[in-house]
Amino acid sequence: MKTLIQIIAAICFSLAVTSCNSEPSLQQYFVDRQNDNEFIAVDLPSSLLDKEKIELSKDEKEALESIKKVNFLALPLNSSNEAKMAKESEEITKILSSEKYETLMRFGSNGMSAVLKYQGDDDDIDEVIVFATHQEKGLALVRLLGDNMRPEKMASLMRSVEKGNLDLSALEQIAKTFE
């Protein structure tokens, strides 16, 4: 009986030690900011993206179809939250610097910079993360969850967004309702 108790205690201890991960996760970051009034937080099923009205290439359409859910988090910049903006940007950068995230592309212009990262296998991505900052508008963090997402197709879709070929006014309208 004493041996059984020791074995159970050893198993519980090892489970407790291995499950305590001090590394912050992106999922936890989103959860922690859901109730912060300074953030705009929206979770959308992909069915709300009006895919029929968007003119896209075959690869871009396949990339869009592979997205199942979108988590959107933004911190609009104002004169009272500049320090918070810098702190949050630094925290997101730290989370995304983890080895589990691969950088797919970086882009920027006119005061805006963005990075596109992904988690998963090279030919089957589990999630795509877009982290963007604008020196006058604030920061945005978008997490795309899906099935059979391909890096090259997601990069093509993001280039289309960057060029303005993909209308994301639905997300902008949602964000404006929270202002």
Is 54 within 8 Å of 63 (Cβ atoms)?
Answer: no
Domain-located, residue 18: no
Q: Give the chain's domain count.
A: 1
Question: Six-digit token pair at 174?
Answer: 């949602």
Residue 7 belongs to some domain of the structure: no
124 occurs within a structural domain: yes
Q: Which domain holds residue 74?
A: 24-177
Domain membership of residue 15 (yes or no) is: no
Single pTM value for the model: 0.72
- The pLDDT tens digits of the residues spanning 23-56 come to 789 999 999 999 999 999 988 876 666 566 667 7
The edge-to-edge listing of strands for the beta sheet with 67-76 is 40-45, 67-76, 138-149, 124-134, 112-121, 102-109
| Residue 42 dihedral angles phi and psi, to the nearest 5° | -140, 135
Residue 165 lies in a domain: yes
β-strand pairing of 102-109 with 67-76:
unpaired
Q: Please, which pLDDT band fits residue 154 given cuts at 50, 70 and 90?
A: confident
Please determine, for residue 174, whether its predicted confidence score (pLDDT) is greater than 90: no
Over residues 95-123, the mean pLDDT reads: 88
Residue 32 in any domain: the answer is yes
Question: Tokens at residue 53, please?
Answer: 């009205």
φ, ψ dihedrals at 167, nearest 5° = -80, 110
Tell me what the mean pLDDT of segment 132-152 comes to.
Answer: 88
